[in-house]
Amino acid sequence: MFFDSSFLFDKDALEPHMSRETLEYHWGKHHRAYVDNLNKQIAGTELDEMTLEDVILSTYNKGNLLPPFNNAAQAWNHEFFWESMKPGGGGQPSGELLRLIERDFGSFEEFVKEFKAAAATQFGSGWAWLTYKGNTLDVGNAENPCPSEKDKKLVVVKSPNSVNPLVWNHYPLLTVDVWEHAYYLDFQNRRPDYISTFMEKLVSWEAVSSRLEAAKAKVAEKEKEEEQRQKDEEERLLPNVEMVLESDADDSDPE
């Protein structure tokens, strides 16, 4: 069973950029409904024993969504969204995060422009994301056979409805919710103004930096596991190769 944890800060802590009323509806009603509905859907099933991330991956079902997916993904997305903000946020990142942003987007300003555009042009409900993309090609389900540091990059993506980048094997670092209930009480239909306020006044770059370090560690761990798997496979096949070589040698011996 999953629980809707207590809110990270006082509900008026993000004012005037995000109102207490918005948080009471968005967190107190919408987010809580996703969690409650998910718990009802998975009660007594094998999903009830999984982590929330595993529930999302299991029920995504290669795009043919199973019933619990929407509530599971929205519960995760919202928790991630709240943790992407802080009172007195905004500004610019620093350190490794800023270095990678400048490497992959050309400048921080270009990144902000691309992120805002993704969020503003997501048709209907959905999310915009900054993600860390590991050693994967832009080809469906293809693993890069020759990964390099250039493959480990930051990208901006957008997703419809409840979908999030976990299902694409990306590592989410930052998100903004562009479902209308996220901003209508404060901004009415002015989604671009809401997005600008989010980026300039609310983003917690410390949280994003921490997520980047965790993502890089996970990618490194996966690489080690893959190297070990390949080594084990080579060792498993080696006796067969030696037998073939010995057989070839015997066949070539003159009588």
Tokens of 214: 């965790």
Measured in whole angstroms, the distance separating CA 170 from the mean position of its chain's CA atoms is 5
The verdict on whether residue 26 carries a ligand-binding annotation is yes
Query: Residue for token digits 């809401």?
Result: 194
Give CA–CA dist 113/48, Å, rounded.
40
The Cα 137–Cα 149 span in angstroms is 13
Structure tokens at 25: 């509806």
Could you tell me the two tokens for 99? 């270095």
Residues 6 or more apart in contact with residue 196 via CB below 8 angstroms: 116
CA–CA separation, 79 and 81 (whole Å): 5
Tell me: is residue 78 an annotated ligand-binding position.
Answer: yes
HEC secondary structure over 159-184: EECCCCHHHHCEEEEEEEECCHHHCH
- By DSSP bridging, strand 126-133 and strand 153-160 are antiparallel
Whether 75 contacts 31, CB under 8 Å: yes
Instruction: Answer for the pair 116, 144: CB distance below 8 angstroms, yes or no.
Output: no
Residue with tokens 């207490």: 20
181 annotated as a binding-site residue: yes
Task: HSE, CB side, 13 Å, CA atoms: give it for residue 108.
Answer: 13
- Give the annotated binding-site residues: 26, 78, 177, 181
Residue stretches of the annotated binding site for Mn(2+): 26, 78, 177, 181
